[in-house]
Structure formats: structure tokens, C-alpha cells
Amino acid sequence: MKKVISVLLVALLIGSVAFAATPGNRISPGIGFIPVQGGTISDAQKTFRMVRYMPATATANSLTLSADTIVIWDTNSDDGITVTTTTTSGDTRVAGVLANACLTPDPIGNTAAGDRNKRNWTWLQTYGLADVYVQDNGTLEVGQAIGCSTTAGNATSGVTWGSATGTVQGVAGFAYDKTTGTSSNTGEVFVRCQ
């Protein structure tokens, strides 16, 4: 009987030590959303969503938006899937950074339903490592919060948040590297817009 108890205690002790040494990535974190990791475990996770682009001043000659453009949710379309650009520094409506270029709508003025399968749809990055255009003569400082700048489609970290109106509280994430804005210059950031 003593032998059986000794064997059980040893087995229990070995099992406890093995469990304590199990790496965290092999144990379930519990119930919740777990994004699918692409590539390898050492690749940064990113979250994307499909969005529709509507120019802020909707004209037929509006600019095409390029990848790495910071955008806001369009409150004129008011549909939760349309983005546009802003010249409001720190705009609270910040949506994320475009992962791909996006063409202008054709024709101008459709609803989102009317624009289904048209050319003005693209992928918006709302979380993870990204590049973003930096405002000309602006600077991204390491670890500093970033947001929309006074140049449409560009980001800056020199935003003074805290307006009494609450319309300039939009933090898009933070800067990984110090980057001085010059024409067509991008900086490395971590986007947190979800």
C-alpha cells in the first residue's frame, strides 16, 4: 500500500512540474476573440477591415488615396463603413491607416449599397505595425501618441489633445521611430483604432 501511495505521489509531483513548465502559448487563454496569426509566430499581428472611400469634398477630380494614408470615419455618409480624410489635427473620428491605395468613387454621391463592387473600396488597418504618411515639417517622436494632422491623409505626434469640445481627442496609436516629415515621407507606427 505504501508503494502505491509513493508511486501516486511521484506521478502527481512530476505532472505538476510538467504543467508549470508548459509555455503560455500552449495553454488556452480562455473564451474570447483570438485573431488568426498569418505567417509565423514572430510576425506582428494586424487587423484589417473593408471600407469605402468618399472624398471629403466629393468632386469628380478628387485625389486617389495611397496606401499609408491616415483616414477618419465619414460622418456625412454616416454608415460606419465609409472613410475620408481630414485637416483637423487630432480628429476624434480617426479610423486607421489604409493598407492599400483606393480610387475615387465613380460616380460621386452613391450610398455604400450603391457603391457595391465599385472601385472605391479598400482595406483599412485598424491594429498593428504600419507605416503612415507624416505631415510635412511634422515629427513623429518615439512612443508619442499619433493622430491626424492639418494635412489631409498625414499623421503627426505634435497634437495637443484635450479640447473642451471633444472633437480633437483622436489617438490613432503611437510612433515606433522618430520620423521627420518631408514630402512623401512615412514613419513606422503601431495603430490602435479598434
Per-residue three-class SS string for the chain: CHHHHHHHHHHHHHHHHHHHCCCHHHCCCCCCCCCCCCCCCCCCCCEEEEEEECCCCCCCCCCCECCCCEEEECCCCCCCCEEECCCCCCCCCEEEEECCCECCCCCCCCCCCCCCCCCCEEEEEEEEEEEEEECCCCEECCCCEEEECCCCCCEECCCCCCCCCCCCCCCCEEECCCEECCCCCEEEEEEECC
* pLDDT at residue 13 in the model: 58
Look up the pTM and report it.
0.81
Mean pLDDT of the chain, nearest integer: 84
List, for residues 38-79, the tens digit of each pLDDT value. 677 788 889 999 999 999 876 656 678 999 999 999 999 999
Residue 151 domain-assigned? yes
Task: Please list the pLDDT of the chain residue by residue as tens digits (194 residues).
Answer: 566 566 556 665 565 554 568 888 788 888 877 776 667 778 888 999 999 999 987 665 667 899 999 999 999 999 999 999 999 988 999 999 999 999 988 888 888 898 999 999 999 999 999 999 998 877 888 999 999 999 999 998 866 666 556 677 889 999 999 888 776 789 999 999 98
Position 15 in a domain? no
- Position 9 scores a pLDDT of 61
Q: State the pLDDT at residue 7.
A: 55
13 in any annotated domain: no
pLDDT at 61: 62
Q: Tell whether 148 is covered by a domain.
A: yes
Please count the structural domains in the chain.
Answer: 1
Instruction: Examine residue 10 and state whether it is found in any structural domain, yes or no.
Output: no
Please tell me the predicted confidence (pLDDT) of residue 8.
Answer: 57
Confidence (pLDDT) at 20: 62
Contact 20, 98 (CB under 8 A): no
Q: Which of 181, 121, 184, 122 is nearest to 146 (CA)?
A: 181
Q: Residue 102 maps to which CATH number?
A: 2.40.300
Please give the pLDDT value at position 24.
81
Residue 18 within a domain:
no
> What is the signed CA dihedral for 96, 102, 106, 109, rounded to 10 degrees?
10
Report if residue 38 sits inside a domain. no
Residue-number span of the structural domain to which 51 is assigned:
47-192
Residue 60's pLDDT is 59
The reply to whether 3 falls in a domain is no
Which pLDDT score, from 0 to 100, does residue 183 have?
67
